[in-house]
């Protein structure tokens, strides 16, 4: 079981849920499980090619990754990049 942690900016898509336990042994499998449990959320994380959107940061067990085949055993955290001047 993997705990997925969502940023507050995704509250409209998650219904305010910030943490969800789901199945999967790598990032891609966890995202597939999320597609079933919360269909609207994955659209905010992945682009039309199935890659992470440029502004989405992904941490699998505390390690930053953009590789969807990265193994995850405990936590998958998503954050959104912030920029400005």
The residues spanned by each domain of the chain are 2-80
Q: Which CATH number fits domain 2-80: 3.40.50.1580, 3.10.20.30, 3.30.420.40, 3.40.720.10?
A: 3.10.20.30
Which H helix or E strand runs over 1? none
Quick check: 81 pLDDT over 90?
no
31-62 burial code (b ≥16 CB/10 A, e <16): bebbeeebeebbebbbeeeeebeeebebbbee
**13-41 pLDDT per residue, tens:** 999 999 999 999 999 999 999 999 998 89
């Amino acid at each position: 079981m993997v705990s997925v942690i969502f940023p507050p900016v995704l509250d409209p898509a998650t219904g305010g849920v910030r943490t969800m336990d789901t199945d999967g042994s790598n990032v891609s499998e966890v995202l597939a499980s999320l597609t079933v449990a919360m269909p609207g959320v994955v659209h905010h994380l992945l682009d039309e090619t199935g890659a992470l959107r440029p502004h989405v940061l992904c941490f699998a067990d505390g390690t930053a990754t953009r590789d969807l085949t990265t193994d995850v055993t405990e936590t998958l955290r998503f954050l959104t990049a912030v920029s400005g001047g």
